[in-house]
Amino acid sequence: MNAETGTQLFTERTVRQVRLDCGRAIARAQLCPERSVVSRVQCVDHHAEIDDSFGHQLWYFEGQGVDEHDRRHDIFGVIEYSVQFGLQELVEDGVFESEQQRERFRNEYEQEARQPLWEHPAHRWLALGTIAIALICLAYLIIQKTA
């Protein structure tokens, strides 16, 4: 059995797993998962896995959360998955008090997904260090050969 979210079709098993993870996210936000209600679940970003990279999915959920003082709050949640070898692996989840907070999370998520690997400063330092070590080894070999 399949469930449609947006324009993408997902299996009932996938949607069931997403709903379970919604409950876990609500519990991590220190809200009662048994009394809280998730009213809407939607996949907002889906990139299928291809031969040279894993896929990823970003799900939104909305509903009413109940805290330890029995107060109801509107909740806006997000769940991020990595799709590896056909399996969903939970990367991150969160529950926010407003849609604007959730959108800030999505902006960071999209920047992370777009950022080229060599733009990261740590990768540049790694490349620079590798080149420096290679030059030092080469200089050492040249000195040993001429001595």
Question: At 101, is the secondary structure helix, strand, or coil?
Answer: helix
**Domains of the chain by residue range:** 2-115, 116-147
Tokens of residue 76, six digits: 């806006």
In this prediction, the residues of the chain whose per-residue pLDDT falls under 70 are 1-7, 112-120
Residue 118: per-residue pLDDT: 63
- Identify whether the C-beta of residue 95 lies closer than 8 Å to the C-beta of residue 65: yes
Q: Which residues contact 58 (CB under 8 A, 6 or more apart)?
A: 43, 44, 45, 46, 78, 79, 80, 81, 106, 109
Q: What is the pLDDT of residue 6?
A: 52
pTM: 0.67
Confidence (pLDDT) at 3 = 46
